[in-house]
Structure 1
Amino acid sequence: MRYGLKVVALGGGRGLHASLSALRLLTDEVTAVVTVADDGGSSGRLRRELGLLPPGDLRKALAALSGAGGSTWAPLFEHRFGGTGALAGHAIGNLVLAGLLEVLDDPVAALDEAARLLDVRGRVLPMCTEPLDIEADVVGLDEDVAAVRRIRGQVAVATTPGQVRRIRLHPAGEPDAAPAACPEAVKAVREADVVLLGPGSWFTSVLPHLLVPELHEAVVETAATRVVVLNLVPQPGETSGFSPERHLQVLCEHAPRLRVDAVIADADSVSIPDRLRRAAGALGARTWLDRVAAKGAPERHDPSALADSLRRALAEVRGT
């Protein structure tokens, strides 16, 4: 059964790819709002060399929503060059997006053009139209385990051996400025029927959306049903040792006014369900515990299983 719901998914990387793969089984009206703070790999190289938005997470979102008409282009977008030359490690889609960003000089227009090329069902938008820098307060890196150190850069934050306590965002090279949201992304959130947060790297893909003031207000104020999908396993470095309920507590710490309608978690990943239900209840949410992990890959969501869980949760929360 497919719905005519307008759904906005917030995130980045593999987590957003998982949620988009599930959502496209439910509706064609999906908008992905993607983080733009990546500074590693092919994306980081293109960002540093050309001063453009890092294209990698945007590319993954486009690939997740590509339709049958993009059967040739979608796998080509994901192909990476081998060897040891200047192109080694670059995904073709990253280069195409970089070219579109330079030629059109408009990130939204560039992504819409790439979406036509890939026959995307839905839309992909950047969280902001300029690249961002992320920094985090981290403890556990010194002999004094309570000492706080500031770690800068998405890759450094995602891989720190310490415990991340809080993150901040700012435009690249402007540490005292607040990031400006992509207007189309704000509009999509405010007009959505459903807004989805997670799964994904909690501090570097999910929470950043709540640190962009206009986007934060849109997520808090929207009349949409708000759903949080929790990760299957803690991410080494970034959320090592985090329980499922700790993810929700951190979410609340970064967005105290945020209310949530539903929390979806994998039944096999939650050791103490009552604790998770209490943490979800503090956000105003009901909890759905389903088996949503892929068979043989407990760290990956199964799109069909996640779609079924979302369908049940939305039907009950929305009374449809």
Structure 2
Amino acid sequence: MPAKIVMIGGGSGLPVIIKPLVKQEVDLTAIVTVADDGGSSGLLRDYVNIIPPGDIRNIMVAMSTADQELLALFQYRFQTKDDFLAKHAVGNLLIAALTEMTGDVSEAITRLAKYLKIKGQVYPVAKEPLILQAETTDGQKLSGEAAITAAHQALDHVWVSPSTKGQKITANPEAVDAILSADMIVYGPGSLFTSILPNIVVPGIKEALQATPAKQVYIANIMTQKGETDAYTDAEHLAVLNRHLGKKMIDAVLTNQSQVPADFVDYQRWGEISTQVKQDPKAIEKEGAEVVSRDFLLLRDAGAFHDGQKVADLIFSLLEG
């Protein structure tokens, strides 16, 4: 029986690791944040009252074995001059339409998964859209993922609130079951405060993560995020993650040891990144985790990214070990 891996996050980080992982003999599940309120996803969650579909769309494409022409259509984003449909991705509209047709986002994702022939499962962390809340290190309160990201301020902690006043926040039971039955939980890569932590702070998820017997692995970011994690070491990322988990839960940290060339990154193009994450292996060990330091760096498009194949190979070897 294939090992069960659950990946937790959102944004553009998870697909980089998922694409090579689905080629392995594993049972892969992605749990995705529902607090995104920017761009096409934000507009659809406001006008159609559904969970933001963008991260789900990207992960489904990463898991898909369908024809590339179909995937290109699914990912196609209308041009800004197309006033009514400006910036909407076709896949986002399909997720919204199927959610309305079926009355259930899980059923919508299941149907699309069949069309796209995906290898694995994609579960939103909750079935209703949530609002991400944050408190900065100087005590200021910020509301909404887009506003938090745009503020570029150092953050202390985050939590979620319902998008409808008085509504009870409940974790998606499919996500909880996946965590409890997993052999390995993988966090990231991705924005710590706006992609990873918004999943963990959903009531029911943290409790499942504390209860699961699975090995828990954190993929440390290669670059810090402007304002939010400026000058953070890999160990400081880990400490914030453990603090939101409620205890020292992470067994291993995958951290990049290769140097990003000083003149390679285009900081205007990649406006949310700041500096390279520095390694602090002793502090990671004090957090109770094993340090797994390798060359994970992939330089492309004037940016610094994880080499998905190298990370996936290592995750698979940790499973076997």
Provide TM-score, normalisation by structure 2: 0.89
2:108 maps to 1:117? no
Q: Structure 1 CA distance, aligned partners of 2:122 and 2:278?
A: 36
Checking the alignment, whether the CA contact within 8 Å between 1:159 and 1:238 is kept in structure 2 is: no
Decide which of 302, 306, 310 is 2:307's aligned counterpart.
302
Counterpart AA for 2:158: I
Q: 2:62 aligns with which of 39, 64, 74?
A: 64
Partners of 1:110 and 1:4 in 2: CA distance = 26
CA distance in 2, matches of 1:271, 1:184: 34
Distance apart, 1:71 and its partner CA? 2.7
Aligned residue number for residue 282 of structure 1: 286
2:146 maps to a residue whose letter is: V
CA shift for structure 1 position 259? 1.6
Measured after TM superposition, the shift of residue 22 of structure 1 is 3.6
Give CA-to-partner distance per residue, 1:188-228, whole Å, 9 cap, x none.
11111111111111001111222112111111111111111
Using the TM superposition, give the Cα deviation of residue 298 of structure 1 relative to its aligned residue in structure 2, in angstroms: 4.9
Asked if 2 retains the 8 angstrom alpha-carbon contact of 1:230 and 1:263, the reply is: yes
Q: How many residues align?
A: 303
Q: Deviations along 1:270-304, whole A, 9 cap, x unmatched? A: 8764x3x2333234321111111213355221111
8 Å Cα contact 2:239/2:287 also seen in 1: no
Matches within 5 A, 1:35-54: 35-54=33-52
Give distance in 2, aligned partners of 1:38 and 1:150.
Answer: 18
Question: Which residue number corresponds to residue 183 of structure 1?
Answer: 173
Query: Which of residues 180, 192, 195 is equivalent to 1:202?
Result: 192
Q: Which residue pairs with 1:166 in the alignment?
A: 157
The answer for unaligned runs of 5 or more in structure 2 is 260-275
CA, structure 1 residues 278+22, in 2 after alignment: closer, same or farther (shift >3 Å)? farther
Percent sequence identity over matched residues?
Answer: 35
Instruction: Identify the range of structure 1 (105-114 vs 260-269) with the bigger mean alpha-carbon deviation.
Output: 260-269
| Equivalence for 2:273 | none
- Structure 1 residues 203 and 233, CA gap change in structure 2 (3 angstroms): same
Q: Where does 1:197-276 land on structure 2 (aligned, <5 Å)?
A: 197-268=187-258, 273=279, 275=280
How far is the alpha carbon of 1:81 from its aligned partner?
0.6
Partner of residue 143, structure 1: none
Q: What whole-Å deviation, never above 9, does each CA across 1:44-71 have from its counterpart, x for those lacking one?
A: 111111111110011011011011x343
What root-mean-square deviation, in Å, do the aligned CA atoms of Structure 1 and Structure 2 show?
1.9
Aligned-partner Cα distance in 2 for 1:200–1:238: 13
Measured in 1, the distance between the counterparts of 2:78 and 2:120 equals 28
The CA distance in 2 between the partners of 1:159 and 1:230, in whole Å, is 22
Name the residue aligned to 2:142. 151
Contact 1:189 1:218 in 2 (8 A): yes
Whether 1:134 aligns to 2:125 is: no
Equivalent of residue 77 in structure 2, options 77, 80, 85 = 80
Q: How many Å separate the matches in 1 of 2:67 and 2:169?
A: 33
Q: TM-score, normalised by structure 1?
A: 0.89
Distance in 1 of aligned mates of 2:228 and 2:164:
24
How far apart in 2 are the matches of 1:217 and 1:161?
30
Structure 1: give runs of 5+ residues left out of the alignment: 140-145
Contact 1:220 1:258 in 2 (8 A): no
Q: CA deviation at 1:187?
A: 0.4
Structure 2 CA distance for partners of 1:283 and 1:108, relative to 1, 3 Å = farther
Q: Partner of 2:142: helix, strand, or coil?
A: strand
Contact preservation (8 Å) 1:195, 1:227: yes
Task: Please state whether the residue corresponding to 1:31 is helix, strand or coil.
Answer: strand
Is this contact kept in 2: 1:288–1:313, CA < 8 A? no
Compared with structure 1, are the counterparts of its residues 36 and 150 closer, same or farther at alpha carbon in structure 2 (3 Å cutoff)?
A: same
Q: State the Cα distance separating 1:178 from its structure 2 match.
A: 5.5
2:222–2:277 Cα contact (<8 Å) kept: no
CA 1:295–1:162 in 2, change beyond 3 Å: closer, same or farther? closer
Name the counterpart of 2:265: none
Contact 1:169 1:178 (C-alpha < 8 Å) held by counterparts: no
Q: Indicate the SS of the match to 1:135.
A: strand
How far apart are the structure 2 equivalents of 1:261 and 1:53? 31
